[in-house]
Amino acid sequence: MWLVRPAQPADLEQILEIAGTQGARLSSTLPKQSEALAQKIEHSLASFAGKVPASEAPRFLFVLENTVTGSVDGTAGIDARAGNGQPFYNYRRDALIHASHELGVSRRVEVLYPSHSLTDQTLLCSFSIRPELRNTDAFELLSRARILFIAEHRDWFSSRVVVEIQGVQADDGSVPFWDSLARHFFNMDFETADQYSAVLSKTFIAELMPPNPIYVTLLTEEAQSALGQAHTLTAPNFELLQREGFHAGCYLDIFDAGPVLEARTDSLRTLVTSHRKTLHGRHDEAGDLCLIAAGEASDFRCALTHVEETLDDELKVSVKTWTLLGKTAGDAVRIAPL
Amino acid sequence: MLVIRPLQENDLDDLYTMAQNAGKGLTTLPADRELLQKKIAHARETFNQRCAPEAGLYLFALEDTEKKKAVGISGIQARVGLDEVFYNYRLSVTVNASRELGVHVRTPTLHLSNDMTDTSEICSLLLSDEYKGGGCGLLLSRCRFMYLDEFRKHFSEKVFAEMRGVSDQHGRSPLWDALGSKFFDMEFSEADMLSGLGNKAFIAELMPKYPIYLPMLPDSARAVVGRVHENTAPALRMLQAEGFNFNGMVDIFDGGPVVEAFVHNVRTVRDSVNRYAMITQNPVDLDVPARERVMVSNRSFRDFRVTTIPASCIGPDTVKMPPAVAEALQVESGDPVRLAPLKDNGPLPINTYRGQDKADDRVREHRSRSSKS
């Protein structure tokens, strides 16, 4: 069975292994160095335990565990406040009309404005999963478990949620948007900058970007066509998030121009369709396959299970799932349809 | 004899022919009769002091007195950017540095600017092909510095010139193609023509206002920022010899450089001296090479005239001249005149007499007062 739970220090090696398979990704918040990752897990545990005040930007890291083998096969994170106390950089894609009344002409000019507008909104991040698990139920579980966590701890998070989707990257690892813009100011390729980004912070790198707006028409054609385009590998994730109610607005990633998806927290599908129920037992597995989440804070667990609902808000779930969730009959759980 | 004098109404035909032959690139003098006529009228108003000093447009003609024909033109615009907006790009540098990343990158950046507003511009120099060489171009250009010097209060302390930027034989400008055309659906030659017709500010309104990072432009465009057209290289060298320097501003269309100098530092100004005219009936050999000639002006505001005479005519207090020259300058014996070298590398006999003429400043003061009345 698949289980999503808070990441523990013992997961370090396995997470590093997954992070290594993900390729260069400046905006990923999943470190590839063990020291940085150990810190992140430490911080996440403190956040789950409620020891990180809202002003210090709690960050949560979940892992996907195969309960049969005990292996960790994916990660997913939530930053309660994008930017984590620092400015959160994006480009806002906007348009200006350059017009002359005397000459009777006007022209639409597209401009990328550096923006901090999304700072402090809740950010879904650090999503990674073993490639063979893409497009499976485990994939959906890992992604949506976070929304159930938000539903259970609604006041920890802001009224809007954003996700950065990885942008276009060629097979050789080059990123057209980076090469057309940021490269000139860093004199380094995307991969190198990515390594720095993991050690320092995304904000640190972003602050070296030019502070002025950028005219889209002066970018290379490849870079222009990459604006707001998701990497093909992210398609399953992109579609899942769209079903969840996220949509691409005018914000782009500052390094690879991937789209930033936005949603109102209270409109997220998983949040709206989930319900609190009381746990009851049965021996066999029958009924619809659902996401089931239980436990507060550090005890949060989320799994996939077959459930049968009764008319009086009780939920019949196999005992195997009880143990997985660390719950017993009569405890409250939250379910959402798959 | 070749004489500089204010442009007149009857120069229109000659001017039109010159503008036609000049072809592309001379934005301030397009071959458009109506526009040229307006310019002449404006210049007449200026010399007659019927317009505000800051609105002045001083246009001078080089006249071949034998043929009674204007063969060249040059001008000074008293102030730019007062009734429209005068745009340039300022070429500056943005530095990105981070010790942690080991990054220190300098990015040349173009900032849109109106810094030249309210500054005097020397402009509109044009010379018929058959008169090129022999110092006519120098006379046309440098006579303006004599004028600026005489009537400084009508001009700004600093004077500048926009140099024509790089374009190919078809009139295509690499910078326009890479930058301007992306914001404005127009060929460079067309935009250039429109700007000559006085629409430059309107076009500038359509141009990008935010800084342009040069590395984002193709190599061909970056290479021409601050560079002059090969036909303009001699003019640039001449201005550099006068003490003009690139001031970091470039044209927003073709990237041609702006060069500037303080009037009091211009070489022609520094090397000028005052003398009194002395008409001599003895024959004077006027036909000497350009390097042995000096410019002589009549110091008049309304009817400014300049011609060249042999340096050998200069005396300690006077300069002797045959009646024909005096007539061309409209001076009589005893009238003050001002001298300045024509060539950079010629002998400068004027300098040997410098400092002797204490009357210099007094005369100048007197002249500029009388020009006002």
Model pLDDT for residues B36-46, shown as the tens digit of each residue: 999 999 999 99
Asked if A337 has any chain B CB less than 8 Å from its own CB, the reply is no
Tens digit of each residue's pLDDT (9 = 90 or more) over A206-243: 888 888 999 999 999 999 999 999 998 888 889 999 99
* Cβ-contact B124, B73 below 8 angstroms: yes
Stretch 215-274 of chain A: residues touching chain B, C-beta under 8 Å = 215, 217-219
Stretch 207-246 of chain B: residues touching chain A, C-beta under 8 Å = 207-208, 210-213, 215-217
% of chain A with per-residue pLDDT over 70: 97
Band (pLDDT 50/70/90 cuts) for residue B219 is very high
For an interface test with A, the pick among B93, B101, B109, B217 (most A C-beta atoms closer than 10 Å) comes out as: B101
Computed over every residue of chain B, the mean pLDDT equals: 88
Asked if A69 has any chain B CB less than 8 Å from its own CB, the reply is no
From the list A103, A186, A215, which residue is nearest B103 (CB)?
A186
Please tell me which residue in B42, B229, B264, B366 is annotated as part of the active site: B229
- What is the model's pTM? 0.85
Q: Is A247 a catalytic residue?
A: no
- Indicate the length of chain A as a whole number: 338
Quote the pLDDT of residue A34. Answer: 86
| Sign of the Cα pseudo-torsion (A217, A219, A220, A223, in order) | negative
Quote the pLDDT of residue B249. Answer: 97
Q: How close, in Å, is residue B196 to chain A by CA atoms?
A: 14
Stretch 180-199 of chain A: residues touching chain B, C-beta under 8 Å = 180-181, 184-188, 196
- Report which of residues B325 and B202 the model is more confident about: B325
Quote the pLDDT of residue B102. Answer: 83
Is residue A1 predicted with pLDDT exceeding 80?
A: yes
The predicted complex's ipTM stands at: 0.84
- Report which of residues B186 and B107 the model is more confident about: B107
Quote the pLDDT of residue B350. Answer: 53
Tens digit of each residue's pLDDT (9 = 90 or more) over A47-61: 999 999 888 889 999
Asked if B330 has any chain A CB less than 8 Å from its own CB, the reply is no
Band (pLDDT 50/70/90 cuts) for residue B24 is low
Computed over every residue of chain A, the mean pLDDT equals: 89
Q: What are phi and psi of B170, to 5 degrees?
A: -95, 5
Does A103 contact B203 at a Cβ distance shorter than 8 Å?
A: yes
Distance between CA atoms of residues A206 and B365, nearest Å: 61
Show the tokens assigned to B134.
């022999």
Asked if B93 has any chain A CB less than 8 Å from its own CB, the reply is no
% of chain B with per-residue pLDDT over 90: 65
Show the tokens assigned to A307.
């459930």
For an interface test with A, the pick among B99, B210, B212, B217 (most A C-beta atoms closer than 10 Å) comes out as: B210
Quote the pLDDT of residue A138. Answer: 93
Quote the pLDDT of residue B193. Answer: 75
Chain A residues in contact with B203 (beta carbon < 8 A)? 100, 103
